[in-house]
Amino acid sequence: MFKTIRSKIILLVVGLMVATSISFIFITTTHYQAQISSQQYNLTKETLASTIRIIDNEFNDILSYEIDTIKNQRSVMKNIGTSLLSMVDSFHDLHKSGILTERLAKEKCLDRIDTYRYQEDHYSFVYDLGLNGISHPNKEMVGKKWTGFEDLKKKDALKLIRDVIKNEKKVFTVFMWPRLEDMRLVKHMGFFLYFPQWEWIIGVAHEMVDIEKNSLTKEKSALVKLSRVISQTNLNKIGGILIFDDNGTIILNTSKLKDIDFGKVVVSIRNNTKTQSGKTLNNFGELVEYRYTNNHQKELKQTAYAYSYKHVNWNVAAFFDWTEFKKLSIVIATRQFLLLFLVSITGIAVAVFISRKIAFSISRLAEYARQLPTYNFGMDQNPKLDYITSHNRDEDIKELVNAFSFMEFQLGKYIRELESHKKNLEELVNIRTNELLELNEELVIKTEAAEAATKTKSEFLANMSHEIRTPLNALLGFSELLSIELNDPRQKNYIDAMKTAGKSLLILINDILDLSKMEAYKMVFKYEPVNLKILFTEIEYVFKDKITNKGIRFVVDLAEDLPIHLILDETRIRQILLNLVGNAAKFTEKGLIKLTAQKQATRNLDTIDLIIKVEDTGLGIEGKEVNLIFELFKQSDGQISKKYGGTGLGLAICKRLTEAMGGQISVISKKGVGSTFIINLKNVKTSSDEVVIVEEQRSTSENGSPYFEKKRILIVDDNESNRFMLKELLSKFNQDVLEAYNGNEALLMVRENTPDIIIMDIRMPVMDGNQATKVLKSDPNTKHIPIIAFTGDMVAKTKTGALKKGYDGYLTKPVKIQELTNELSKYIRVATPDREKTKQD
Amino acid sequence: MKGCNRISAIVFLFIFLIFSSVLAADKMDLSIKPQKNNHLKWRIGYYEGGEFLHYQLNFMATVKGLMTYGWIEPIDIPDQKGEQTIELWKWLVKNVKSDYIEFVKDAHYTANWDDSLIEKVVATIINRLNTKKDIDLMIAAGTTAGRGLSNNKHHTPTIVISSSDPIGAGIVKSAENSGYEHVLARVDPFRYERQIRIFHEIIGFKKLGVAYSDTPNGRTYAAISDIEKISKEYGFEIVRCYTQDEIMDVKVCEESVKNCFRELSNKTDAIYVTAQNGVNPNSIPDLVDIVNKAQIPTFSQSSSTEVKAGFLMSISQATWKYAGDFYAKTIAKTFNGAKIGQLEQVFEDPTKMTINLESAKKISFRFPLDILAGAFEIYETIEEPENQQ
């Protein structure tokens, strides 16, 4: 699900729409109410303020109208009165001038006044200070006492006028005066002037009813206009404007709400209005919130802004009903929601359409890619790509198609090149294959020849080793025996010479064999814990006599931080040291020979780099010969004269052995001063194993030989000399000896005379030692008998190899007495001579 | 017997008529024609508690009244500066031509509203009246002066002018009887009641603001007792604010009135502007501005001059003229032999409405058409106040 681009696009758009909608609804819901409520409050306030402004304007219009009307009327009346007064004065002048008598002047004047009309039904009248009517259009009024015409204070207006007119000369008043047409007392505004000469009070009156009527009309007109204007406000849908007087009488109501008793609304507003003085602080009115029950006994909450025009006894309230407001809010919210929904649907539809187009192109491209392998990669564009671009005009898709097209073109080009190469290669391969086959045949032949040669060589070496060692073994063995037997010093010297010659030959043979093994990479190293101190002591011991005789000092210096035991091939180290120390002993006449061992650097806790030095104060080596000294058969020049002898193999062997053990050997030498040979072995492991020094418990017999408990030892060797030599030696060791000359005979001997130990030669006719050992070890009756291998074959066999074949021990030819005793001591307890004698007894 | 009875009846009737005529002639029918004082001029003196415009205006109106009735030759009195009367007195002394009256040159006394001086000045006047006897009539201007001279420490006829409530101030006993044969004070006992009634009838206020000095004089000037009486009758609340009055520094008085007006504008729906030092031509424009901005209708206790300057309405216009006329007649009657203490004290101002249309528009007040039509004086604009007579 939602693994395709199309589905992801749709999901994204839907998600965005949903998130936007939810956010919008959430925001509008949480803030909408507060905002729209606030807006409603503001709308209501503004509506009230607008209404107040309109009312102010209309009121000012009415006020101005009334004032102007009254002013104009007063002005007219003043003018009329002044004109009349002037006229009266004229007539008075006529009297004064003698033209008319006073009576006549008055009469004529009054006639004039009687007929004077300044407006239809508007006339003037005259009375005197005695309140007697002098002139009036209605003759019945003339001559009567004009009293009882009350003013607004119910006081006699004309009397009051009379009282003040003499001082004031002109007075306005409002009083009840008979209307001319029916003499009914109606309210008039009057203007009075005084003519002191005749003590006349001249009056001009105007009915108030017209003015009042016009004023009322104006007021109604203002209300109508007000109603028309404020009826258009949006507030009327959920509330409205109420104008009412202090008695609660509604003057104007613009609300369109139904089921509301507006009289109750008015009462509620009045009861909740805090401002008692009839004033509000500003045109926004006072906020009033109240509850009341409507016609359906439902309690409603309303909010109003109220303003009071106390001077005109008007109260204006702009109110709205919360129930209606909420309905409106819901309508607006629903509208917005629907709009949002439409927008969302449109967005999703567009997303689906666009994603479909994209998905179509992508699927076509995928199809094209799948079919690409089957395409023939012609030079023209793939028609499938043409189809895609023709159905999609998006630049991105076109770019993608172009990329695919380019890829197709390049692929075609490379494929064609590859095919061409392939053809060439096939030909080349065939040629090479044939050559290789020929070569291979040659190699096979050569390999077979080499293997044959190697085998021959190995067999030769094995045979040579065996053939040379066997007589040597006898030679050296008997020399040893003779040495022990003989007491004559001179004979001892002869034997010593023979031993020395024999040892030299043995060394030479060993060296040659070692070289052969190293060259054939058949040298096998046996690593075991080696105590260098013991080894060095042993080396010193070997050359002690020679060194002492020369007066040379031999120094052994082992570093204090050198581990006691190191994992080395003791035999090979010994061999190297014997060579080097032997050379030092040979080429040093005086001074010292120093044998040192130290560690250079500790790589880790388990390994060290071992440095062994052999220093001498001998002849030294010529500078140019230093590098040649380690080559085969190379000797120092001085040695060529054969003064010191040697075969030239020793250092070469040392070098090969050192390098075979992963080290290096070098020399620092100065002619006439001395030489220092340095062996550097890397990563020599340290060992915590203790090399058990097999203490030579030299329990020697009376003739100095080790004294073992008597055992029966079977010697198996086809060489009589060897058998004899061993027999002699073993006899010295107080042993009973049996002999057999081949493996087969050995088996017979073992059955008849179960020996305690068997010393088995390996190379024998009829049955070799390996076969015989195998048989013996497989027989439960004989497998317990220790079998020591006795061989001069150093090429094919090692001790480890011998042990693997079932042998329990290992002796090499020519055998050394020490080695023989060491080996025997493993299986035979060393006995004291007394003890042994006791035992024999 | 019949004849005796008849004669007795006639005699009784005659006596009755005489007495009646005497009675009838008690207060109203005495002559006001100019008479000399045994061939000499009547000497008039003047005492005021301190400078006050109303004193000046009332006094000038009195002088004009005397001119009207022939006691002084008519002459134009120049416009006066400030509220003083000393300069007016000096001018009168120097310029007035009269066979009957003399304004005694050194008989102008004022206590300058200094409480510490009042007693001393009164004592000086009384001593002079008793010892020197060179003054025939004292004009006591104002309640303070009236209180000072309304006693039996002297017997010189004294007319108390421009006292708003002499009865309440204890200057006279009642409207009918001053309590002293030599003292008279004009009383118009219902004057302020009339004002408050008309104000209430027109405006219909529920809270009436009154700024006044909370002193015996101050309460008298403001007619507080009348207001309280009417307030109970009509059911409105009186909101009081106390001002500084009758002190040397007029500015302080003015500021105190302004502060009160500001305060009252926020608390009331109408203000009754009472007479005090702080309400004068200098302060009226600011006071009018305060009340008009707050759309507070105002009623001037004093005069239409203040309506012209911007207060909404009043019912007295040129009070001084009528009062001056009354005072002049009273003086004339006294100089004609009447005992001043027996003369009529009551003199009511005629009810004459004065309105200011500009103020009405500013406070959105719609005068009833009747008031508009019957107003005695309509001021269409607010004018800079000036000393009017």
- Output the DSSP codes for A405-474: HHHHHHHHHHHHHHHHHHHHHHHHHHHHHHHHHHHHHHHHHHHHHHHHHHHHHHHHHHHHHHHHHHHHHH
Sheet (strand B101-110) strand order: B101-110, B42-48, B137-141, B158-161, B183-185
- Dist. CA A425–CA B241, nearest whole Å: 125
Domain total in chain B: 2
B179 and B212 share one domain: no
pLDDT value of residue A639: 52
φ, ψ for residue A830, nearest 5 deg: -75, 130
Phi, psi torsion values for B223, nearest 5 degrees: 55, 45
- Dihedral in degrees, nearest 10, Cα atoms B288, B294, B300, B303: 30
DSSP per-residue codes, A100-122: S-HHHHHHHHHHHHHH-EEETTE
3-state secondary structure of A60: helix
Give B14 or A144, the one with higher predicted confidence: A144
Q: Is A279:B291 a contact under the CB 8 Å cutoff?
A: no
Domain ranges of chain A: 237-327, 524-687, 697-840
- Min distance B321 CA to chain A CA atoms (Å): 9
Instruction: Tell me, yes or no, whether B133 and B268 share the same domain.
Output: no
Does some domain include residue B385? no
Res B65: pLDDT: 92
Say if B289 falls within a structural domain.
yes
Q: Is position B35 within any domain?
A: no
Region B77-105: mean pLDDT is: 94
Number of cross-chain residue pairs from A and B with Cβ atoms under 8 Å apart:
85
Judge whether A558 and A596 are in contact, CB under 8 Å.
yes
Q: Quick: pLDDT tens for A237-272.
A: 788 888 888 788 888 888 888 777 788 888 887 777
Cβ of B366 within 8 Å of Cβ of A208? The answer is no
Kindly tell me if the per-residue pLDDT of B23 is higher than 70. no
Phi, psi of A223 (to 5 degrees): -65, -45
Q: Which one of A274-283, A337-346, A554-563 scores highest in mean pLDDT?
A: A554-563
The contacts of residue B296 (CB under 8 Å, 6+ apart) are: B209, B264, B265, B268, B269, B270, B271, B363
Q: Which residues pair with A202 in a beta bridge?
A: A126, A193
* Alpha-carbon torsion (A161, A164, A166, A167), positive or negative: negative
A163 in contact with B at a CB cutoff of 8 Å?
A: yes
Say how far residue A74 (Cα) sits from the centre of its chain: 98
The pLDDT value recorded for residue A729 is 85
Q: Are residues B197 and B107 in the same domain?
A: no
Among A230-234, A276-280, A504-508, A606-610, the least confident range = A276-280
B143 and B251 housed in the same domain: no
Which distant-in-sequence residues (6+ apart) come within 8 Å of B202 by Cβ? Answer: B313, B367, B368, B371
Sign of CA dihedral A400, A405, A406, A407: positive
Q: How far apart are CA B356 and CA B382, in angstroms?
A: 7
Confirm or reject contact between A309 and chain B (CB < 8 A): yes
Q: Are strands B354-356 and B237-242 parallel, antiparallel or unpaired?
A: unpaired
**Which pLDDT does position B42 carry in this prediction?**
96
Q: What is the pLDDT of residue A459?
A: 66
User: Which H/E stretch holds residue A621?
Assistant: none
Residues B299 and B368 in one domain: yes
Residue B116: pLDDT over 70? yes
| Range name among A387-391, A709-713, B47-51 with the lowest pLDDT average | A387-391
Give the containing element (helix H, strand E) for B19: helix B2-24
Which has the higher per-residue pLDDT, A639 or B281? B281
Q: Determine the residue of chain A that is closest to B318 in CA distance.
A: A168
Residue B271 pLDDT > 90, yes or no? yes
What pLDDT score was predicted for residue B49? 94
For chain A, percent of residues with pLDDT exceeding 90? 17
In a shared domain, residues B241 and B327? no
Q: Is the pLDDT of residue B237 over 90?
A: yes
Among A466-470, A613-617, B34-38, top mean pLDDT goes to: A613-617
CA distances (Å), origin A718, targets A461, A723, A735, B255 = 20, 8, 21, 158
Distance from CA of B150 to the nearest CA of A (A): 32
Query: Percent of chain B at pLDDT above 70?
Result: 90
- Of A447-456, A491-500, A505-514, B221-230, which one has max mean pLDDT? B221-230
Distance (Å) from the alpha carbon of B328 to chain A's nearest alpha carbon: 15
The answer to whether the CB atoms of A74 and B295 lie below 8 A apart is: no
Q: What is the pLDDT of residues A489-520, one digit of tens each?
A: 888 888 887 877 787 787 777 777 777 767 66
**Domain identity same for B169 and B197:** no
- In terms of CATH architecture, what is A524-687? 2-Layer Sandwich (3.30)
pLDDT higher than 70, residue A379: no
Q: Look up residue B199 and give its two tokens.
A: 């104000």
Residue contact A64–B267, C-beta within 8 A = no
Nearest Cα residue to B271 out of B215, B353, B317, B205: B205
Report the pLDDT value the prediction gives residue B53, as an integer from 0 to 100.
87
Q: Which of A59, A167, A172 sits opposite B373 (nearest CB)?
A: A172
Model confidence pLDDT, tens digit, residues A796-820: 445 666 666 789 988 888 787 778 8
Output the six-digit token pair for A661.
Answer: 């053990």
d(CA A781, CA A747): 12
Do A67 and B369 lie within an 8 Å CB cutoff? no
B149 in a structural domain = yes
- Asked if A524-687 and A697-840 have one fold, the answer is no
Instruction: Measure A93 CA to nearest chain B CA, in Å.
Output: 25
CB nearest B365 (choices: A163, A187, A311): A311
What is the percent of chain A where pLDDT is above 70? 86
Asked if pLDDT for residue A12 goes beyond 90, the answer is no
Q: A167 touching B, CB under 8 A?
A: yes
> Is residue A122's pLDDT more than 80?
no
Q: B206 vs A74: CB contact, 8 Å cut-off? A: no
**Which chain B residues contact residue A310 at CB under 8 A?**
204, 269
**pLDDT one-digit tens code per residue, A124-153:** 899 988 888 988 888 888 888 888 898 887
Q: Are B185 and B197 within one domain?
A: no
- Give dist(CA A470, CA B183) in Å, integer: 187
For residue A187, list chain B residues with Cβ-Cβ distance below 8 A: 370
Residue B285 has pLDDT above 70, yes or no: yes
Q: What is the mean pLDDT of residues B78-92?
A: 93
Residue B338 lies in a domain: yes
A643 Cβ partners below 8 Å, 6+ apart?
A: none
Residue A706 burial (C-beta neighbours within 10 Å; 0-12, 13-18, 19+) = buried
Q: Please indicate whether residue B374 or residue A237 has the higher confidence score (pLDDT).
A: B374
Segment A476-497 shows an average pLDDT of: 80
Tell me the CATH architecture of domain A237-327.
3-Layer(aba) Sandwich (3.40)
Residue B109's pLDDT band, with cuts at 50, 70 and 90, is very high
According to the model, what pLDDT value does residue B214 have?
A: 93
**pLDDT (0 to 100) of residue A285:** 65
Residue pair A127/A193 in contact (Cβ under 8 Å)? The answer is no
Asked whether A827 and A758 are in contact (CB, 8 A), the reply is no
- Give the gap in angstroms from C-alpha B146 to the nearest C-alpha of chain A: 28
B23 inside domain: no
Q: What is the ipTM of this complex?
A: 0.70
Cis amide linkage into residue A563, ω under 30° from 0: no
Nearest CA in chain A to B349: A164
Q: What is the CA radius of gyration of chain B?
A: 23
Q: Which of A54, A55, A56, A63 to mutate to test the interface with B (most CBs of B within 10 A)?
A: A63
Q: Which of A143-147, A366-370, A392-396 has the lowest mean pLDDT?
A: A392-396
* CATH number, residue B73: 3.40.50.2300
pLDDT at position A1 over 70: no
Pairwise CB contact (< 8 Å): A56 & B364: yes
pLDDT band at B199 (very low <50, low <70, confident <90, very high): very high
Contact B290, B261 (CB under 8 A): yes
Residue A366 CB neighbours (<10 A): 10
- Mutate one of A150, A279, A309 to test the B interface: name it (highest B CB count within 10 A): A279
- Indicate whether B155 and B175 sit together in one domain: yes
Question: What's the pLDDT band for A334 if we cut at 50, 70, 90?
Answer: confident
CA A548: distance to chain centroid? 78
Q: Are residues B210 and B120 in the same domain?
A: no
A74 touches chain B (CB under 8 A): yes
Residue B223 confidence (pLDDT) above 70: yes
Please state the three-class secondary structure of A363-412 as a single string: HHHHHHHHHHHHCCCCCCCCHHHHHHHHCCCCHHHHHHHHHHHHHHHHHH
Q: Which residue of B has its CA nearest to A276?
A: B206
The shortest C-alpha distance from B364 to chain A (Å) reads 7
Query: Could you list the residue range(s) of the whole structural domain that residue B268 is in?
Result: 191-317+350-379
Does B131 lie in the same domain as B67?
yes
pLDDT of res. A372: 76
- A178: distance to nearest CA of chain B, Å? 17
Q: Which CATH number fits domain A697-840: 3.40.50.10240, 1.10.150.120, 3.40.50.2300, 3.90.1150.10?
A: 3.40.50.2300
Question: What is the DSSP secondary structure assignment for residue A310, as one 8-state letter?
Answer: G
Predicted pLDDT at B128: 96
Structural domain includes residue B245: yes
Q: Do A70 and B373 make contact, defined as CB atoms within 8 angstroms?
A: yes
Judge: A74–B350 Cβ closer than 8 Å, yes or no: no
Q: What pTM, to 2 d.p., does this model score? A: 0.51
Say yes or no to pLDDT of B102 above 50. yes
From chain A, the residues in CB contact with B366 under 8 A are 59, 62-63, 66, 311-312
- Residue A36: the pLDDT is 77
C-alpha A144/C-alpha A134 separation (Å) is: 8
CB A715 within 8 A of CB A740: yes
Half-sphere exposure of A523 (CA within 13 A, CB side): 22
